[in-house]
Each structure stands twice: as structure tokens, then as C-alpha cells.
């Protein structure tokens, strides 16, 4: 993916300080984005081309009330988003495939499901302004402590694994974020893209 012709200002909301957010930040900086990683954006200055919301679901340290905080942040940033005639802005939310259900993480599943619902509503709300809103529903990546938690108690289930030869990594998630932020993705909005190596093909009762 080529670098933007001019530096596009992107905010990576990273309250949890996760490996996933760090990978996203590094990927975007390498592509020429002007990345701001401040945890709280009280008074934005100047236009915002992109917001990446990474609330820590994939390493098991979620932001409390993640969906509510997302809505608050987007409301605060709306006056600073690019208008449609300037190409609009991009909002990307990193959630978890736990939204499909997982016995040992009902709280994370609920938070992820709420984020998806919030994102779809924001896509409807902001669509005519040129801003897109999309979700990456990812498998906990290699290195996440969720991957070593073992079999959930009182079940026959194991942590879902990718069907692909290689496991999902934080870099895979970062590449997917870059895809949604790209100007060429301007007609994609309100979507949930599974970055899971095919694990979403399996129901929570069959993995």
C-alpha cells in the first residue's frame, strides 16, 4: 500500500497501551501517516483524517464501557472530521471475534458486540458526511495472554485457532487497519471484517 501523498492525521486511541495499538501505530507511521497516540483527546486542533479505536479487548485488558467511550470520542471529534468534498475521514474500531460467543469471556464478548452495534449506528449517522466507520473483529493474536488461558472450565472447548498455516499476529491486524484507512476504501462503511485466519467460520460450539 502506497504512502499518502500528504501526511494524513490519524488518532490511535490507545488507553490500554496494547501490543496491537503499538503495531498499528508503527504500521501507519511507516506509511507516512501523522499519528497521534494521545490517550485522551480533550481539544483536537485541526482536521482529523482517521480515528483508530483499540480498547484492549484482544489482550484481555478492555477499556471500561468501551462502546460508550467510543461514542463520546466520536461526538467530540465530529466537528474536526473531513467533509465529503475533502474525501471524508475514516473510523476503524478493533473488536474481538468473542462477539460470536465464548464461555470464559462473556464480558469481552458483550463489549465487542456493543462496539459492533455502535459502529453500525455511527456509519448510518455519518455516512452522508463522507466519514466511514468499520470494525475489525480479530482473533486474540499471538502473544496475547488470552491465547494461553487454556480450556474454559466445564466445557470441551479450546481457544479458537486460525485455519491458516500461520497464526494471527498484531501485524496482521495493523495491515487490516491500514486497509480501512486508505482513501481507496471510501465506499466501505458499516462493515465487520474478520481478521481471524478463518476462525470465524467455526461456531463457538464447534471449535
For the chain, domains (ranges, CATH) are 9-198 (3.40.50.720)
pLDDT at position 93 over 50: yes
Least confident of 31-35, 155-159, 184-188, 201-205: 201-205
| Of the candidate ranges 13-27, 108-122, 149-163, 188-202, the one whose mean pLDDT is the lowest | 149-163
pLDDT at 62: 84
What is the average pLDDT across 97-124?
91
200-206: long-range pairs with CB below 8 Å, 24+: 200/97, 200/100, 200/137, 201/163, 202/160, 203/100, 203/101, 204/100, 204/101, 204/102, 204/103, 204/157, 204/160, 205/157
pLDDT: which is higher, 62 or 2? 62
pLDDT tens digits for range 40-76? 555 667 789 999 999 999 988 888 899 999 999 999 9
Amino acid at each position: 500500500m502506497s504512502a499518502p501523498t500528504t501526511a494524513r492525521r490519524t488518532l490511535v486511541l490507545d488507553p490500554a497501551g496494547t501490543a496491537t495499538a503499538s503495531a498499528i501505530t508503527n504500521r501507519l507511521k511507516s506509511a507516512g501517516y501523522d499519528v497521534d497516540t494521545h490517550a485522551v483527546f480533550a481539544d483536537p486542533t485541526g482536521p482529523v483524517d482517521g480515528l483508530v479505536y483499540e480498547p484492549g479487548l484482544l489482550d484481555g485488558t478492555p477499556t471500561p464501557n468501551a462502546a460508550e467511550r467510543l461514542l463520546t470520542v466520536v461526538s467530540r471529534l465530529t466537528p474536526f472530521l473531513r467533509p465529503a468534498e475533502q474525501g471524508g475521514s475514516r473510523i476503524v474500531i478493533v473488536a474481538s471475534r468473542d462477539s460470536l460467543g465464548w464461555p470464559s469471556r462473556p464480558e469481552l464478548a458483550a463489549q465487542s458486540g456493543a462496539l459492533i452495534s455502535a459502529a453500525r449506528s455511527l456509519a448510518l449517522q455519518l455516512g452522508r458526511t463522507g466519514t466511514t466507520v468499520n470494525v475489525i473483529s480479530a482473533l486474540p493474536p499471538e502473544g496475547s495472554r488470552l491465547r494461553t488461558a487454556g480450556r474454559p472450565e466445564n466445557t470441551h472447548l479450546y481457544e479458537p485457532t486460525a485455519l491458516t498455516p500461520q497464526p494471527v499476529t498484531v501485524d496482521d491486524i495493523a495491515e487490516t487497519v491500514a486497509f480501512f484507512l486508505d482513501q481507496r476504501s471510501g465506499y466501505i462503511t458499516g462493515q465487520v471484517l474478520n481478521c481471524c485466519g478463518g476462525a470465524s467460520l467455526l461456531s463457538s460450539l464447534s471449535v
